[in-house]
Amino acid sequence: MSSFFIITGVVTLLGAAFAMSLRNLVHCALAMAIAFSGVAALYLQLAAQFVGFAEILVYVGAIAILIVFAILLTRSGEAPEQSVLTSGWLAGIAVSALVFTVLGWAVLNSSAIPRQTSPAPVVTVKNIGDALMTKFVLPLEIIGLVLTIALIGAVLIALKEGSQSKADDEGLKMKKPSSSPSIPGSQFSTGGRP
Amino acid sequence: MLGEQIIKGMAVTARNFFGSYVSKERLTTVQYPEEHLVPKENTRQFPFLVYDGDDWEKGLRCVACQICEKECPPKCIYIVKSKDKKPDYKGQPQLYPLTFDIDISVCMSCQICVEVCPFESIKMDTKFELSTGDRFGGLLISKDKLAKSNGYYQRIHPQDAADSDAVIAAEKAKAEAKAKAAAEAKAKAATAAMAAPPAAAPAPPANPGQKS
Amino acid sequence: MFNSLDQIFVTALHWLVSFVPEALRPLASSLVCIAFILSVFPGVFAITTIFERKGIGRIQNRYGPNRVGIPFTKIRLCGFGQFIPDGIKSLTKEDIVPRAADKIVHFLAPVVMLIPVMLAYAVLPFGKNMSVTDYDAGLLFFFAVGGAVELSVFMAGWSSRNKYSLLGAMRAIAQMVSYEIPLILSAVTVVMIVGSLNLSEIVKHQNQYTFGIAHWFVFTPWGLAGFILFFIASLAESNRTPFDLPEAESEIIAGYFTEYSGFKFALFFLGEYLGMFAIIGLGITLFLGGWTSPVSFLTWIPSYVWFLSKLMAIVFVFIWIRATLPRLRMDQLMNFAWKFMLPLALINILVAGIWHYLGADWQRWPVCAAIIFGAYAVLGRGLMHNQKLGKRIYRYAE
């Protein structure tokens, strides 16, 4: 356990802890971005360059932005809420300790971890690319399809709202000149000022 | 085609950029304290007094008639007349101003003093870099600083100076003509008077018809 | 002799590091490289601000700054010392933090902007054997740290508790995110052809010469289209005109910079320009051959001189475009990214694939060029059709 690993681990855990417990929601989002970068640093320590950089690109560069946009567009300028320590915090700690134990036992006893620490395989980006295109091509295409469906769905929802408001505007515009005959200055109104 | 106008626009700016190093038309900046714009003929800032010749006191055209002081709208001219007289360009003895101050913080450059002066002696200057740190009298210009030569006037307003000189020359010519006519008349009267009495004294009954 | 001149920085690094005991050598080496980057690129930034002001001035029929040469003397140097008083001014201005602002986030935003931008210089090859680190996934690293800049923009806009800042930050993030996609997709074509994400490898691929002309990717149809797309997207990523709506003075005061004064503003300014240089550096590496020379008889000029000259040339084109084009409105900007640049980038990827699979004959040139040109003409016509240039209609005021 090198010192670098300890420092990175502490930073990640602190980031995650602050993301849960800070009052200001935007601070929580930023703490989560710190946690993401900590995870990326851990990946880089394991010499997984592609995953580490992809983590920063996707999580910090896109998902954190998404979260802050969501915060902004739904609750802007609100005062910080009350404390997050609710009344059932003891039960919460018990449940999370239980989950941690179960997960830890599962990971440590799984077959994915080799018994003897073999030398770390040197995986280049080329190997990842080859694997994605040959062995894992089906999951890749399915993910692409799912993302496309999500994109089309988002566009459809926004389009419906957009066309709804546009139809409202059209209706409003067509109704106005006929219903209010004395708009000053309007030359198409009946019964206007002479 | 999309993007065609962008390329044309960039060609225009490139022409401006390279042209600014070679032609004056594409770099019209005048870097003020080192370079000055050439002022036009009609530029006017504050008045000054014109003098003829080399000595500013003797050649000052102003005769302290105080017309400009009375006509000045914000009353920025202060004149004190002298007690003695000195001859002007026509030879007639005229007063001269002992004090002639213009307060240029009040002067509004309306040129009325120039228009009403009958002696072509107050004209508009073009200098404007007259700032001073002295709040209490730095902008009250006195006679010695206001007096500038006719040669200076001809340099700053050539056309106006030429007109002014023509007027003065005309006046002088008229005065000389009048003086000559008066001198001729006097000479004729003198000769007539000289001829008549000697003729009248010896023989008044002799030549009654010679009295003229 | 020219080779030693070319490698002079590498030899200097090795010589400096040899003074340090064996265990500390990697640390010393990185420190020297960091010092190099930190001294060269802010210097280039200072010179660029002067070139920008003078260049824009000349284009606008006026002198730029031309008085300050060496301070405290009368030596003018055509105004090239202007950055010294500018720097001193920004250091000595009062640092005002609004009372309602979020102090920690407000303080951290310029820092969070500057760190990823400086990190991005670590993978650019400035000359032969002259990149600080040689990651296998170097290109991905560059785009990853580019994405982290958006977070700082948001932090700046949000922490100021100011409507204009927030609006400017939202617009800036939307713009950056939208233009990142054509940026990355146009870089993907290069990766496809080279087969590696390693930037030194990409430059080595362009270091071959046929008939005396280098194999720069910009000389191929897909490379030219990719370069133009990359160029426009990098204009948008660095918030330069015509895409500078988020920070335009006449539109939104100063956008997300509004509440920053003094040194923090200078840090933002520095970060923006350094980001511009980094992205131009990447464009040069990907399309313009990095540190290689365009013709084979000029290879004796040192590689870092080539890199720097290409960088300054593209910076001049940026300045030229800034002085020429008016600003794009937000919706025009977004339309342009999503409806024109993204389809063109995707078609470019297709064309790069066709290029690769048509083999090395001469037919691939006209075929690929025709496809790209056709796509450009069709998309351009479509964009210009959609412009509703008529009398303006007001939704609520009638």
Does B178 map to a domain? no
Residue C372 near residue C222 (C-beta atoms within 8 A): yes
In tens digits, what is the pLDDT along chain C, a chain of 398 residues? 778 888 888 888 888 888 888 888 888 888 999 999 999 999 999 999 999 999 999 999 888 888 888 888 888 888 888 898 888 998 899 888 888 888 888 889 999 999 999 999 999 999 888 888 888 888 999 999 888 888 888 888 888 887 778 888 888 888 999 999 999 999 999 999 998 889 999 999 898 888 878 889 999 999 999 999 999 999 998 888 788 877 765 566 667 777 788 888 889 889 999 999 999 999 999 999 888 888 888 888 888 999 999 999 999 999 999 999 988 888 888 989 998 999 999 999 999 999 999 888 888 889 999 999 999 999 888 877 766 666 777 878 76
Q: Taking a contact as any Cβ pair under 8 Å apart, which residues of chain C between 323 and 362 contact chain B?
A: 323-325, 340
**Tokens linked to A48:** 């997984």
- Pick A125 or A178 by higher pLDDT: A125
Surface of C (378-397) touching A: CB under 8 A? 395
Contact assessment for residue C354 and residue C370, using Cβ atoms and an 8 Å cutoff: no
pLDDT at C354: 92
In a domain, C129, yes or no: yes
Residue B98's SS3 state is strand
Q: What are phi and psi of A132, to 5 degrees?
A: -65, -30
- A106 lies in some domain: no
Asked, for residue B207, whether it belongs to a domain, the answer is: no
Amino acid at C280: I
Per-residue pLDDT tens digits for A39-97: 999 998 888 888 999 999 999 988 999 998 888 777 655 555 565 566 777 888 899 99
Task: Say whether residue A18 is in contact with chain C using an 8 A CB cutoff.
Answer: no
With helix as H, strand as E and coil as C, how does B154-210 read?
HHHCHHHHHHHHHHHHHHHHHHHHHHHHHHHHHHHHHHHHHHHHHHHCCCCCCCHHH
Q: Do C380 and B12 touch (CB under 8 A)?
A: no
Return the percentage of chain C with pLDDT > 70, whole number: 97
Please count the other Cβ atoms lying within 10 Å of the Cβ belonging to residue B65: 18
Looking at the complex, does the CB of residue C317 fall below 8 Å from at least one CB of chain A?
A: no
Listed as own residue / partner, the contacts of C292-299 with beta carbons closer than 8 Å and 24 or more positions apart are C292/C203, C292/C206, C292/C207, C292/C214, C292/C216, C293/C214, C294/C213, C294/C214, C294/C216, C295/C209, C295/C212, C295/C213, C295/C214, C296/C209, C296/C212, C296/C213, C296/C214, C297/C212
Sequence-ordered list of residues with C-beta below 8 angstroms from that of B139, at least 6 positions apart, any chain: B103, B104, B105, B130, B132
Question: What's the structural domain count of chain C?
Answer: 1
pLDDT confidence bin for A183, thresholds 50/70/90: very low
Contacts C166 to A, Cβ<8 Å: 72
CA–CA separation, B147 vs C146, rounded Å? 72
Q: How far is C384 from chain B (nearest CA, A)?
A: 8
Is C45 within a domain? no
Q: With beta carbons less than 8 A apart as the criterion, state whether C373 and C360 touch.
A: no
Omega before A121 cis (within 30°)? no
Using CA atoms, how far apart are residues C351 and C337, in angstroms rounded to an integer?
A: 20
First-residue to last-residue Cα distance in chain A: 91
Distances B40 to B6, B29, B33, B34, B108 between C-alpha atoms, Å: 41, 18, 18, 19, 19
Give yes or no for residue A117 having a pLDDT over 80: no
Burial of B110-128, coded b for 16+ CB within 10 Å and e otherwise, reads: eeebbeebebbbbbbbbee
Number of domains present in the structure of chain A: 2
Structural domain contains residue C210: yes
Q: How far is C196 from chain A (nearest CA, A)?
A: 7
**Nearest chain A alpha carbon to C162:** A77
C213 alpha carbon, distance to own chain's centre: 26
> Which CATH number covers residue B73?
3.30.70.3270
- Give the separation between CA C155 and CA C101, rounded to whole angstroms: 11
Confirm whether B173 is domain-assigned. Answer: no
* Domain shared by A62 and A2, yes or no: yes
Partners of B21 on chain C (C-beta within 8 Å) are 58
**A15 assigned to some structural domain:** yes
Of C188, C33, C189, nearest to C125 (Cα)? C33
Q: Does residue A100 lie in a domain region? A: no
Render C18-31 in DSSP notation, one character per residue. TTS-GGGHHHHHHH
Q: Domain span at residue A45?
A: 1-74
Q: What pLDDT does C251 receive?
A: 62
Band (pLDDT 50/70/90 cuts) for residue A102 is very high
Q: Determine whether the interchain pair C137/A50 forms a contact, defined as Cβ–Cβ distance below 8 Å.
A: yes
Q: Domain span at residue C308?
A: 81-381
The reply to whether A2 and A63 lie within a common domain is yes
Burial C131-168 (b: 16+ CB within 10 A, else e): bbeebbbbbbbbbbbbbbbbbbbbbbbbbbbbebbbbb
State both tokens at B101.
């101050």
C135 to chain A, any CB pair closer than 8 A? The answer is: yes
Enumerate the residues of chain C whose CB falls inside 8 A of the CB of residue B13.
Answer: 59, 320, 323-324
Reported in sequence order, the residue ranges of C74-131 that DSSP labels E, i.e. its strands, are none
Name which of A30, A50, A57 is nearest C105 (Cβ-Cβ): A30
Asked if residue A193 belongs to a domain, the reply is no
Q: Output the pTM of the full model.
A: 0.82
In chain B, the number of structural domains is 1
Domain hosting residue B141, numbered range: 55-167
Asked whether the beta carbons of C226 and C372 are under 8 A apart, the reply is: no
C279-332 pLDDT tens trace: 999 999 999 988 888 888 888 888 899 999 999 999 999 999 999 998 888 888
Q: List strand residue ranges (DSSP E) for chain C, in order.
A: 209-210, 213-214
Instruction: State how far the Cα of B189 lies from the Cα of C333, in Å rounded to an integer.
Output: 103
Task: At B101, give phi and psi (nearest 5°).
Answer: -110, 140
**In a domain? residue C270:** yes
Tell me if A146 is assigned to some domain.
Answer: yes
State how beta strands B147-149 and B47-51 pair.
parallel
Residues of A in contact with C134 (CB under 8 A): none
Q: Nearest C-alpha of chain B: how many angstroms from C332?
A: 14
C171 within domain boundaries: yes
Residue C2 located in a structural domain:
no
Residue position matching structure tokens 């929802």: A157
Question: Does A49 lie at the interface with C, CB-CB under 8 angstroms?
Answer: yes
Which residue is it, tokens 């008549």? B196
Burial of C344 (0-12, 13-18, 19+ CB in 10 A): buried
pLDDT tens digit sequence for A27-44: 899 999 999 999 999 998
Interface membership of C65 toward B (CB under 8 Å)? no
CA dist A29 and C159 (Å) reads 13
Q: What's at C305, amino acid-wise?
A: V
Measure CB to CB from residue C136 to each of A54, A60, A125 and give the nearest one: A125
